[in-house]
Structure formats: structure tokens, C-alpha cells
Structure 1
Amino acid sequence: MSTKVDKLNRKENEGFRIMGLPIGLFAIITVVVLIATYMKVLPGGMIGAFPLMMVIGAILNEIGNRTPIIKDFFGGGPIVVIFGSAALVTYGVLPETSGEIMTSFMKAEGFLNFYIAALITGSLLGMSRKLLIKAAVRYLPAILGGVVTALGLVAIVGAIIGYGAKEAILYIGIPIMGGGMGAGAVPLSEIFGTTLNLDVTAMLSKMIPALALGNAIAIVVAGLLDKLGKTKKSLTGNGKLLISQEKEEVKAEEKAPVAIEYKLMGIGLLLSTTFFAFGKILGEFIPIHYYALMIISVAVIKALGILPEKYELGAFQWFRFIMANLTPTLLVGIGVAYTDLAAIIDSFTFQYVILVAVTILGAALGSGFIGRLLGFYPIESSITAGLCMANMGGTGDVAVLSASNRMELMPFAQISSRLGGAFIIILATALLKLFM
């Protein structure tokens, strides 16, 4: 039996593949889906939306991840999927009916909330409890330093150049610092739209350019910080965050690989959707957006160690399944249902580029300075607590750490993307109340 499995595994690694499928089989599937789409017989609901969005997402993701410059400086696949799918519908390459099916699936049928619930629950419950607790003592203040400096600078520069301090904070600073697309800009646009009674699509269309450009600048700054560390060696630990030589470094607990269990994944599905429902319940009594309340609930449960570890594992496995298989699918939905290309094109002005760059620099400077006061090497603190807050989530973390040659700092980058992004959602809710 093992010999047969080994042979299958060897075959699986042969040749070019998309979504794990041989190119020939993927092409046949694509042709079938597109024929149904252009004949306008593609079923409504998820039965039609899933194959169309998965096929489009896989193709555009492959293009983005293989295109020079785009893959190195602009986030690769995710950016191409979002803008490419938006263009396909905006310029009539895909029939109008297919756009309606995908939009309904994202909004009316709740795929967006389904994905976000899995992301929040699984990523937080899957994090090391020791890492979560220890990191909060020193690392979160470093994140806060970067956030305060970034938002302060973008507000000042926004006021000086005529963009507006409030607008610069809400539509440029907050989205950039929000932890990426799925757990950052998307829920933020929902919060902004709900609170300000504005169109969610318009909100997201204002935020996405900031994310894309901010991610690119963050990657460039990471490379420059690496070069600075080679010149000013006192500023860097060459991948080590803490200056102290004691064993204070916060490390993820090393665990033996755990086999995928389908029953546990089902439990993870139940937990993620239940936590989402719990956030909605709390939202009826607490004047905070239910996304933020859900995040707080999951973090508290994790910190207190209430859930048995096997159920946390189930939530993590479900999250990994959703992220590995449906992230490009979600990005297609974001492009089709939430991205207004005309508004995005209009956003790219000299003012806009300056404000995005100021936000990134503020994040790096603030987190580096506060990190140094807390016993961190400034460059490592700037990269993890600053730039990994200002990039596009998980893909941005990889790009930033690769550019700075500090992949060993991934656990801290993940804290920035997960907990830092959660903090920004809570902060955005509070700022909206203040600005209203």
C-alpha cells in the first residue's frame, strides 16, 4: 500500500500544475465552466459561483505569482486576482449574469463572513498560547508605537497638503495598518459602511489602492533596512528580536506534525461560525462592531486555555483548509463585488502616493523606536511590529521578511498580521465614533 502511495506522490509532483491539477485536466474544467458561463446556464448560488470563482482565481493568481515586478514588489497573485477579476466584469469580458451570481454569493449568501470567521477563529486558536501571552507584554506596545506614529504622521501630512487629516487617517492610514485584505480592508470597509451609512463598495475601493501601494513600499523599505543593518550593526540582531542574551525570545511551541482529521475540521467549521454568531449577539449589547467582538472573544478563550487543544487544532485545520483552497476565490469575489475600478484609478494622485509612503515610514520608525526602549533591536522591531503591520497580511509577511532576509521572525510577523490587525479593527470602530 505504501509503495502505491509513494508512486502517486511522485506522479503528483510531475509537470506544471494549477490548484494541484495537471494543466490538461484544469483546462478541461475551465472550458466546461466558461461554456456554462457564456451560455448563461451557470447555476445560481454557491454551486455556480464556486467553480467560476475558483477557476478565475487560480488563473489570475498564477499570472500574478509569475509576473516579474508584480510578484516581487506588488504582492503577486492577490493583487492581480482582485484587479483582474474586477476588470473582467467591469469591461464586459464576463457576462453580466456571472457578475450577479458572484456578487450575490459574496454579499447575500454570506461567503465573505464565512471566510472571515474561519480566518479569525483558526488563526488565533492555532497560535501558541505561550507566544500569545508573552508577546503581549513587550511586542504589542511596539506595534502600538508604529500605529500611533503612522497615523499621526499621515494626519499631519494630510492636513498640510490639503487631503484632510481625518480622511488621511480613515482611508489611508487605518487600511494600511489593518492586517491585509481578508481580515483588514474587507471588515474595515464593512464597519465604515455600516457606521457611516456609506456604500461598502466605495469604502473598499478607497482602501484597496492604499493596501496595494503600501505593500509595495513596505517590501522596498524592508530591503533598505536589511542594508542599513549591514552598515550599522548595532541596530540589528540579524534576525534576533531581543537584545538580551537571556532566553526571553518568544518562540512558538514546537509540536510534532498532526495528521489532518476530517472530524476535527468539522468541529472547526462549527466553532468558527458559532464565534461569529456570538459576536453578533454581543453586538446587540455592546456598541462595537461584531467582527471586533468576535476577535476579542476568541483571543480571550485562547489566552485562558478554556478550549481543549484538540478543538483548537480543529479550528486551525479548518482555517488552513479554507485559506489554502479558497483565498483566490475570495479575492475574485472582492474584485467583482467590492472593487470599483473607476474610483481606484481616480485615487492614484501625487497626494495619495505621498500619504501612503508617510504611513509606511511612520510604522517603521515608531515601532523601531518603541521596540528599542523595550529591549528589541530597532531594525527587527521595525520590520516585524511596523512593516508587517503595514503589508498585505500573510503574503505581505513573506515578502517583507524575504526582502529583509529575516524569515525566522515569521511568528512575530504573524502576531502583527493577526492580533495587530484585530487591534486596528477595534481602533477603527472607536475612531469612527469619535469622528462622527
Structure 2
Amino acid sequence: MIINETMTVRDQRISKAILAIAAIIIFLATFAGKMPGGMIGALGIMVVVGTILNFVGDRTPIINQFFGGGAIVVIFGSAYLFHQGFFPAEASENVKTFMKSGGFLAFYVASLVTGSILGMDTQTLKKAALKYIPVILGSAFFACALTGVVGMLVSKDFYDSVMLIALPIMGGGMGAGAVPLVEIMSGKTGMNAETLMSQMVPALAIGNAIAIVMAGLLNKLGQIAPTLTGNGQLIRGQKAITEEEQQTGSLNVTILGVGALLAVSMFFVGTVLSSFISMHTYALMIISIALIKVSGIMPTALEQAAHSWYKFVVSNLTPALLVGIGVAYTDLNQILNALSPMYFLLVLITVLGAIIGAGFIGWLMGFYPIEAAITGGLCMANMGGTGDVAVLAASKRMELMPFAQISSRIGGAFMLILATLVVQAIA
């Protein structure tokens, strides 16, 4: 951190004043139409807006206690500010480009996945790997079953409730979920692609928003009932690893650079493998890193470097990324337009079903229910990689990113297989 306890009071005041001046300069340039293009312009405004909204959210009563605090304020606050024209249109477009074609999200996720897996205890990884798949399946089953039953109770068809609401929400986001679902269902269900997409997309958007809020509530539940949570540790009874145990070497610029290189390299590995194996890049990256970790071939110093880089990214870039999620992936108008009572109820039931299924099966598998519900439930019900970051930030459990990505990628792929089987069975 730039400002910390080791500084004198005078130095802290001077540092805050300089940072405030820097923020004012960035705002003035943005509103004057002088915002630089590319990464430097986008990241500048994202850091400033994210830091301010995160500060406000963490200090707003009720929101900071029950709804995820800064994370949820950054996402929805930035979505509102940019989409309602408070910022110039070119600033919004620059942020969207940086997030999507600029690859900022992929860079962030690669850093978190690589560092968190390599920084994980090997035995913990081995114990959790096979037991985690039933958690995903339990989450999907409860979500679909409850949504279908409630759909029938509110005079909606069981099949439509599951296929048009539950499956898209649990399917791993837009690109990896809703789009292939539409391709699977169109032509075989009597509905064209446009009709299907118009019914699925609002479910994804509302489900993602509910998942973020639920993440904050689950974090609060863990504070009220400590026996239900491992505070970021997935396996019950697993000894928490302290910072001293995780990092025995000194932290310097070289170590951070090595950690960044490892994260980027592992993303390259996933990208290359996806050319030969029909799986998502993130899923292949996770499997590759896990195999490297379990095999023990990676020197401890390099594992520590990757973990140090992960902590640096989480500490310094998370608010900026959440702004990008709000601007590039959160459409408030779409959410509001779909908020009919019945539609909202079915989406809410889907998310609650995912929480209940993942939490219950997770407990049976020896996991903490809250951590299982967050990763196996909410990270199945959100909008893929962006939703994973938002949910883990709201629940203050960023170290669970590997399991969140397993839910989004492998769990999402399972939902597509399920949809294919159902459509073929009724076609």
C-alpha cells in the first residue's frame, strides 16, 4: 500500500494530498475530453472511481454490514454513473474496450488463479479436488428443481422455468452459457434465437446482481455463525495458513515481476491447450496449474512469487476491475425492465437453490457450508469470470478464485450438456 502505518502523520497527510491532486487531474482531463486512449486512460479513471466508491461503500451503514460493502457500491455505482452520462461517452467506451478486447479481466483472473493455487497447501488441493464436483452437481440440481417447482406454483410451465431461467443462470455466463444455450435450443423448441435470448439475458443480469448481494449476506452470516465458515478456507478443520507461513522470502520488485510472468505464462498454457482440447482456456489453465502444484516440480521460491503477485493484484487492482465490470458488463436498464414480480421470484429461487444445494452437499463432503455455497453455488449462478470476481469481492474471499473458476467453467459446461440431453429427449 502507498499509505501505511509506518509513515509519520505528516507523510500520510502529504501522500493523501498528492493522491487527491492526481485524482482531480484525472477527472479534469476526462471531463475536458482529454482522456488518453488505451490502457493508461482507462486504468486511470477506473482506479480513481473505484477507490472513491469503495471508500464510500465500506463506510455506508447496512451496505457495509450486509451487502458486500465497497464491492457492490463500486459495481452498481459505476454502472449508474457511466451509463447515465455522468462521464463522457468516450470514457465509457475506453473502459469497455480495456475490459474486453484489452484483456484486463483475463489478466486479473490469471493472476488470481495462478497465485492462489500455487500458494495453496498441496494436501488441501488434493483433498478438495474430487470432492468439489458433487458440490457443483448438487448446486445445479437444487437450483433447477426448486425453480421448476416454484414455476408450476406460480402458473408457469416447469420446463420453461428450468430451460429459460435456471439453466441460463447456472450456465457459466453469457458467452459460455446463454449463447451456446440459445444455439442448442433454437430450432428444436419452437422459439427462434432472438426470442430465447431476450428471455435468457435478463435472467443472467438479475441473477448476477442477486448473487453479489447474497455473497455479502453470506459473509455476514459467517460473522454471526462462525462454525459455518472457514473464513476463506474451504475444508472443515483445515488449519488456516498465516502470512508468515505463506511467504518466507522477502518481497521486492523482482519477485512481483516473476509472479506476473508466471501468471501470464499459465494463461498462455491454457490458450495453447484450448486449440487442441475443446475446453475453456480458464479451465485448462486451472488444471495445468493444479497438476504443476501437486507434482511438486515448481520451486517454492517461484510459488511464493506467484502468490505475492496475486496479493499485489488483489490489494491494488480490485476496485478498478469492479468499475470495469460495472461499466462493461452491468446493464441496469435491462435489469429494471425485467423486474416483474414472478420473473424476479424465479430468478431469486434459482440463486437460493444454488446456495442451498452447494452448501448442503459441501457440508456432506467435509467443506464449510458458506465457502461451498459461495463457490459452488453463487459462482455457478453469476455471469462467469466477471461475476466470480464480484461475488468473491463482496464475500471478502478472493482466495477462493480457483474453485470459483471451476464452478463457472466446468459447472457451466455440465449445464450445457444437461441442456443438450433435455432438448434431445423432448425433440
The normalised TM-score by structure 2 is 0.76
Q: Distance in 2 between matches of 1:73 and 1:434?
A: 34
Alignment of 1:145 onto 2:143: no
**Does structure 1 residue 284 correspond to structure 2 residue 275?**
yes
- 1:52-97 Cα offsets, whole Å, 9 max, x none, are 1110111111122122222222222122212222222222111111
Cα 1:212–1:74 change in 2 (3 A) is: farther
Partner of 1:244: none
For 1:422, the equivalent position in structure 2 comes to 406
Residue of structure 2 in register with 1:383 after alignment: 370
Label 1:215 to 1:8 Cα distance change in 2 as closer, same or farther (>3 A).
closer
The 1:277–1:205 alpha-carbon spacing in structure 2 relative to 1, beyond 3 Å, is farther
| Secondary structure of 1:164 counterpart | helix
Preserved CA contact (<8 Å) 1:65 1:71: yes
CA RMSD of aligned residues (A): 3.8
Aligned 8 A contact 2:92 2:327 in 1: yes
2:76 counterpart of 1:83 = yes
- 1:287 Cα deviation after fit: 1.5
Letter in 2 for 1:79: I
CA contact (8 A) 1:218 1:390 kept: no
Match of 2:209 in 1: 212
Q: Find the counterpart in structure 1 of residue 416 from structure 2.
A: 432
Q: Is the 8 A contact 2:211 2:391 kept in 1?
A: no
**CA deviation after TM superposition for structure 1 residue 320, in Å:** 1.2
Pair 1:121-2:114 in alignment? yes
Report % sequence identity: 36
Q: Which residue of 1 aligns with 2:45?
A: 52
- 1:404 match: none
Residue 353 of structure 1: CA displacement? 3.6
Give the number of equivalent residue pairs: 387
Question: Aligned match of 1:267 in 236, 258, 261?
Answer: 258
Q: Deviations over 1:397-419 (max 9, x none)?
A: 68769xxxxxxxx7xx955x532
Tell whether the 8 Å contact from 1:156 to 1:165 is kept in structure 2 after alignment: no
When structure 1 is superposed on structure 2, of 349-358 and 389-398 the one drifting more is 389-398
**Could you tell me the TM-score, scaled by structure 1's length?**
0.75
The letter of the residue matching 2:81 is: L
CA displacement 1:77-125 (0-9 Å, x = unmatched): 1222122222222221111111122122122222121112112111211
Find the residue that maps to 1:42 and give its secondary structure. Answer: coil
2:169 counterpart of 1:172: yes
**2:311 matched to which residue of 1?**
320
Query: Compared with structure 1, are the counterparts of its residues 87 and 147 closer, same or farther at alpha carbon in structure 2 (3 Å cutoff)?
Result: same
1:11 is matched with which residue: 9, 12, 20?
9
CA offset digits 1:260-279 (Å, max 9, x no partner): 23222212211111111111
Q: Is the 8 A contact 2:118 2:306 kept in 1?
A: yes
Structure 1 residue 30, shift from structure 2 partner: 1.7
Match of 2:370, as an amino acid? I
1:315-349 per-position Cα deviation (integer Å, ceiling 9, x unaligned): 11111111111111111112222222211212333
Structure 1 position 434, deviation (Å): 4.8
CA shift in 2, pair 1:250/1:350, >3 Å: same
Match of 1:330 in 2: 321
Q: CA 1:282–1:205 in structure 2 vs 1: closer, same or farther (change >3 Å)?
A: farther
- Deviation readout 1:191-237 (Å, 9 max, x if unpaired): 237646899x998875343233234346557767998x7xxxxxx96
Equivalent positions of 1:405-420 (< 5 A) are: 414-415=399-400, 418-420=402-404
The equivalent residue for 1:293 is 284
Residues 1:238 and 1:86: Cα distance change in structure 2 (over 3 Å): closer
Change (3 A) 1:318 1:7: closer
- Cα 1:12–1:111, aligned 2, differ >3 Å: closer, same or farther? farther
Q: Which residue of 2 aligns with 1:182?
A: none
Secondary structure of 2:410's counterpart equals helix
- Within-5 A mapping of 1:395-414: 414=399
Q: Which whole-Å deviations, capped at 9, do the CAs of 1:2-58 have from their partners, x for residues lacking one?
A: xxx99953438967x9xxx52x33321121111111221111011211211110111
